[in-house]
Amino acid sequence: MNKTKLSVLAIIMSLNTVFAKEKLEITSSHQTIEGLYFGQKPPGSVPEIFAPGIISIDSLIEGSITFNKEMNELFFQRRKREGSHNIYTMKLIKGKWSRPQLAFFSTNKKYLDLHPRFSPNGDRLYFGSTRPLNDSVKSSGLHQWYIEKNENGWGSPILLLEKLFDNEWIMCVNSTEQGNLYFNSKEKEEKLEDEGIYYSVNQGGEYSKLKKMSNNINTPGKWIAHPYIAPDESYIIYDAERTSKYENGDLYISFNHNGIWTKSYSLGSKINTEKSETGATVSPDGKYLFFSRGEIKTREDGSTYWLTDTYWVDFIQLKKEIMEESLVNN
């Protein structure tokens, strides 16, 4: 994977990408959106675009869809033509979904907000942001934040305890039923291509020192990012650069067998293509896998732009098949 692709996929910190003319094919604002998945027929073993015209919009970058456990609230990230990168939300009220709108904590288009992730019980939402850490208007780089549910709804954003984390940065935080945190990160002395997936154990409300996952998941010199950890920590999915017939990022899974993580398995040719597959999440009931599929396009004048769509696919059978293979090989 070349440096340009690596930068776009791993950090999403640059605002230099130039977008194609925006052709919004958005469902009419007065049209009712009903049903658990907006009335869309669930997919089978072949991925399909998720919520076209509602979440998946032409010439925009969407991804990182995350549902709460009741499946009546969701968040996702969206990057627009002018470069703004914000988190949007939808709610299911009396059987009808609200239109996508900016989340209350993500209305400032000067900064990047990305990678929303619900905690398993839905009482927290983690996200990354380049917003200032204090009253300054200057961005301090990428940091991790969260909001918590209270009797009135959601509270104000809180900075994650990064004083415990001495790494250069952390990104894409996921929590488990035990409160353990998983994310991708890079230590200060490491090269960008040596970043990896780390975790921190919840010890009665305090977090342990960061630990890097084994080489069954992290491969030195190979890009890796955007982990999704199962609530019970039985598996982890992430996108990475591996030795394969495809040059771009693909999705992989590793299983936790009695506390030992298996080698990584590709999610297969129906998922991984010549394009880049990134940012996987799984519905709270474990039935469906969501991910982004995109590619960099080049115009006649040499400028580039990134196009992506959000896909979903039946995850139950896919996971079963790969798990059976892992039991044979481990």
Structural domains in the chain, CATH included, are 3-329 (2.120.10)
Residue whose C-alpha is closest to residue 276's, from 303, 309, 298, 243: 309
How far is residue 147's CA from residue 281's CA, in Å, rounded to a whole number?
19
Q: Is 194 strand, coil or helix? A: helix
Q: Are 265 and 251 in contact (CB under 8 A)?
A: no
Q: What is the pLDDT of residues 270-323, one digit of tens each?
A: 999 989 999 999 999 999 999 999 888 787 888 877 788 999 999 999 999 998
The pair of three-digit structure tokens given for residue 193, joined into one six-digit string:
């291509």
Q: Which two tokens stand for residue 47?
A: 């991925």
* C-beta contacts of 86-90 below 8 A and 24+ residues apart: 86/113, 87/113, 87/114, 87/116, 87/127
Go through the chain and tell me how many residues it has.
Answer: 330
CB atoms within 10 A of CB 10: 24
Phi, psi of 299 (to 5 degrees): -85, 175
- H or E element at residue 167: none
Examine the pLDDT at 146 and tell me if it is beyond 50. yes
Residue 209 neighbours by CB under 8 Å, 6+ apart: 164, 200
Using CA atoms, how far apart are residues 229 and 162, in angstroms rounded to an integer? 20
Residue 135 burial (CB < 10 Å; 0-12/13-18/19+)?
exposed
Task: Check residues 154 and 301 and name the one with the higher pLDDT.
Answer: 154
**Percent of the chain residues past pLDDT 70, beyond the cut:** 82
Burial classification of residue 163, based on how many CB atoms lie within 10 Å of its CB (0-12 exposed, 13-18 middle, 19 or more buried): exposed
Residues 46-75 have pLDDT tens digits of 999 999 999 988 777 889 999 999 999 999
* Residue 324, H or E segment: helix 316-329
Select from 126, 88, 91, 124 the least CA-distant residue to 107.
88
Q: What is the value of pTM for the model shown? A: 0.86
Quick one: pLDDT at residue 82?
Answer: 63
pLDDT at residue 29 greater than cutoff 70: no
Q: What is the pLDDT of residues 185-243, one digit of tens each?
A: 877 676 666 789 999 999 998 888 889 999 999 987 788 999 999 999 999 999 998 65
* Residue 2: per-residue pLDDT: 46
Spatial separation of the C-alpha atoms in residues 212 and 196, rounded to whole Å: 7
